Amino acid sequence: MLDDVEYEDSEPPSIGLVRSAVPWDDVRDHIKIAHHPILVLPEGSTQYAGAYWTGTQMAVTGDLGSDQDQAICEFREFLRERGES
């Protein structure tokens, strides 16, 4: 489990925010247990990605933008459209 996750929960669904460059294996392990979506800034990237648990595996959506607030909004909308909220 990741220890330093902050949450943006001003509206559903809550989205976990982690420090940049967290290894994908750590994100997957956390999501597998906690089952809540996480916004990630992958190492070497300027674009945020969202990771969430589908029920059987982790799924990732990229290209959410370089601004964290914008990425949160886009990821939240993405999750709602797929019924993951």
pLDDT of residue 21: 84
CB 72 within 8 A of CB 15: yes
List 15's β-bridge partners, or say none: 8
* Predicted TM-score of the model (pTM): 0.90
Please report, for the chain, the start and end positions of each structural domain, with discontinuous segments joined by +: 6-81
pLDDT of residue 3: 83
pLDDT of residue 9: 94
pLDDT digits (tens, 9 = 90+) for 6-60: 999 999 999 999 988 899 999 999 999 999 999 999 989 999 999 999 989 999 9
Q: What distance in Å separates the CA atoms of residue 25 and residue 41, rounded to the nearest whole number? A: 14
Sequence-distant (6+) residues with CB within 8 A of 77 are: none
| DSSP letter assigned to residue 38 | E
